[in-house]
Structure 1
């Protein structure tokens, strides 16, 4: 059996000493390496900034989708609210007495719809007659001169408006007083 070669400690010292000698680097090479280092550092910092911006953008998009993702469904539910409200508005006293259970069911359904709206950040805009017209929240359906009112006052409310968090889902539909004809 052959024994593995034994390396003398002196031979090892000579070999490692030869390997540790640094090659001569010219100032131009040093400058080129510094420039490359600076460019790589710059690219790295830009990549870090891009990654941070992408993270922030994804977070913002996620929050927006969470808050406003259901806005189409919410907008489609507004006519349901309108119809239930109208049904309750036109009931006479005779009908109320004859159909008490049915009307109670409609009232409970409307109340539950408003609770669901509230749970999802939908708030009803309910302007009153006499309030000032606000084009950010109201849609003027008509203008009419009405004695005893100022121009821009709401004289009739046809439909409530709705906000989803801070966005307008539907403006309140109102009639507005115009300047009285002289």
Structure 2
């Protein structure tokens, strides 16, 4: 069987330089032009790579700056919502001859303002009523007491709890009905 003379083998032999110099059918000028074109292409790719690296570093730096600013000013909206509460307290304290009823009214109005500001900022009160099921995710049992209600239900609230965006800031302190 004669040796394989397929087209790939033939083109490979043409691309190989012979004893007389460059590959048959390709002049020295063409080869040099191809080398120059490859160098230009290589330089363009290297430039694109460096630009892409710079873009990545700039994006990382901008993201880090944004994170720093977010941390620094995270409480800004919350603090802004508390300023009217501060104003109300200062105005109430500025009145020198207020009656106990006026002081109580002012304190209640200021408390409403404070609760409203907390709710606007997703700080929600946890205040289980007597008879509510004990929830260890929201409540902290201080003691178990005998009671005429189902076991593991809230008997009394000692201190309100609070959540922020459904995360517990402080659990409600409760007493719980003991098993019978």
TM-score of the superposed pair, with normalisation by structure 2: 0.50
